[in-house]
Structure 1
Amino acid sequence: MPLKILTFNIHKGFNWNNTKYTLKRLKKALTHIHPDIVFLQEVVGENKKHQKKFDKWIDRQFEYLAQDLWSDFSYSNHAVFDFRNHGNVILSKYPILNTEVQDISTNHYEQRALLFSEIQIEDKILHTYCVHLNLLHKDRIKQYEYIKDFVQSKSDNHHPILIAGDFNDWNQKASEHFLNIDNLYDAHKFKHGFYGRTFPTLFPLLKLDRIYTKGFHILDAEVFKNKHWKSLSDHLPIYIEVEFK
């Protein structure tokens, strides 16, 4: 049974330079693709200033995006400020059995979390992880190790795994740390021999976003990079199709 998977940093529902509110168009784009599981980063839970500034502002963006499309979702409300908060989201057509949020912040300036959800798909329990990592490599090294240890603590080598999100991995070091997790591969690199270029949208040069998989056959992997997708955020989404082994 093929599964459609997508990861996307939605930039809080704004285009690359914060001049256009894109959340409704973003939902239409997701509706057209209608992946089975979606990993999102920078999803707003609340922004009191934007409530006053924008007539059609939508808080709890994850509920708006999930409505009528995905029956289950999980949200990590980890980036909390005086008037706003945002976090990672997993949207699923299949039942989410359990969710945990792990704080992986390494400094006072970047509030980061690892969102873990177990998803029941027929007779299998899929382990899913949504991440948004730090900007500095020295901080990401700590986060790589934490994620690796947490993933291994949850897995008995029988569960298929998806680890997806914005790794901010401009120097392409993440995979070196995850290679200790047996048979875990970046889907795009496995399929094409290189990581997908996802940032910035206008001239995507950096390979920041990933979908790591274990226990799947990779059928397809691509970066959506037409004009429509480029207009929705400062990142481009990565899309893959997989089948359980």
Structure 2
Amino acid sequence: MNTLRVATYNIHKGVQGLGPARRLEIHNLVHAVEQFDADIVCLQEVRGFNRQMQRRFAHWPAEGQAHVLAPEGYEAVYRSNAVTRHGEHGNALLSRWPVLGQGHHDVSDHRFEQRGLLHVTVQVEDRPVHVVVVHLGLIHASRERQVQALGRFIAREVPPDAALVVAGDFNDWGVRLHPAMARFGLHTFDGIRLATYPSRLPLLHLDRIYVRGLRLLHAQVPHGRAWPRLSDHLPLIGEFAWP
């Protein structure tokens, strides 16, 4: 295997719209994820369960959204970040390759936002690849502290010579986190337009894939009339090569 295909997608908890116009999109998202044809899919705002939505929608899935979204033959890993009145949601990873290990690290910066890192080790043929799925906070100072916590976590949990992918929704409106990530040896696609938010008129580069020990080849953001119906974010898909 010469390349690794990675996708990241904030699925907005599988529901779109407000009030009476709210609609269930999780089943359409199943087909969207299949279209990525990715080796690894990193997901944010994934619901483990939600009793209110289960009562609202007749076709609400009986199992967690991560397992619903996993294409046939993929392994699904989910960890909760936030516990709410009616349920919980967090990050997930879907892998075409065997999962060797998984863990979760709380990086909540204040009591109004619950945030965490999902760490999964995947065996890609004869190579272990470490993947960290992130969804950072809405306040820039919080994001800076969470990136520092991410760096400490990587230093502690990821061997320095291992291939590493850090992907997710960075909420980095001003694209100010690149230098901090570079200090940990993590780099992403620069100089090309990869706006993913808002999905109806994408202007902001919030969703990213950073790598260490892999070579960046190219990236794409799918466009078309169907995508804005599925989530308030567009997915980002990247192709990487081994050094």
Q: Same fold (TM over 0.5)?
A: yes
Is there any run of 5+ residues in structure 1 with no aligned partner, and where? none
Give 1:47 shift.
Answer: 0.5
1:41 matched to which residue of 2? 44
The alignment status of 1:74 with 2:77, answered yes or no, reads yes
| Aligned partners of 2:30 and 2:71 also within 8 Å | no
Q: Once structures 1 and 2 are overlaid, which stretch shifts more, 58-67 or 209-218?
A: 58-67
The one-letter amino acid of 1:114's match is: L
Residue correspondence of structure 1 range 144-223 to structure 2 within 5 A: 144-182=147-185, 184-186=186-188, 188-189=189-190, 193-194=191-192, 196-223=194-221
The one-letter amino acid of 2:65's match is: Q
The counterpart of 2:35, out of the listed 28, 32, 48, is 32
Three-state SS of the structure 1 residue aligned to 2:179 is helix
Aligned equivalents of 1:62, 1:132: Cα separation in 2: 16
Aligned equivalents of 2:182, 2:155: Cα separation in 1: 12
CA distance 1:160–1:166, change in 2 (3 Å): same
| Aligned partners of 1:16 and 1:232 also within 8 Å | no
The counterpart of 1:62, out of the listed 62, 66, 69, is 66
Aligned equivalents of 1:238, 1:52: Cα separation in 2: 32
Aligned equivalents of 2:47, 2:153: Cα separation in 1: 26
TM-score (norm 2): 0.93
Give 1:69 shift.
Answer: 4.2
Percent identical among aligned pairs is 35
Aligned equivalents of 2:164, 2:230: Cα separation in 1: 28
Three-state SS of the structure 2 residue aligned to 1:107 is coil
Q: Once structures 1 and 2 are overlaid, which stretch shifts more, 98-107 or 215-224?
A: 215-224
The one-letter amino acid of 2:4's match is: L
Q: Once structures 1 and 2 are overlaid, which stretch shifts more, 77-86 or 43-52?
A: 77-86
TM-score (norm 1): 0.93
Aligned equivalents of 2:181, 2:166: Cα separation in 1: 10
CA distance 1:195–1:179, change in 2 (3 Å): farther
Give 1:67 shift.
Answer: 5.0
| Aligned partners of 2:6 and 2:238 also within 8 Å | yes
The counterpart of 2:227, out of the listed 203, 226, 229, is 229
Give 1:103 shift.
Answer: 0.4
Aligned equivalents of 2:193, 2:114: Cα separation in 1: 26
Is there any run of 5+ residues in structure 2 with no aligned partner, and where? none
Give 1:48 shift.
Answer: 0.4
Aligned equivalents of 1:15, 1:69: Cα separation in 2: 28
* CA offset digits 1:105-151 (Å, max 9, x no partner): 01111110000011111221101000001000011111010001111
Give 1:195 shift.
Answer: 5.5
Aligned equivalents of 2:31, 2:215: Cα separation in 1: 28
Aligned equivalents of 2:193, 2:209: Cα separation in 1: 10
Q: How many residues align?
A: 239
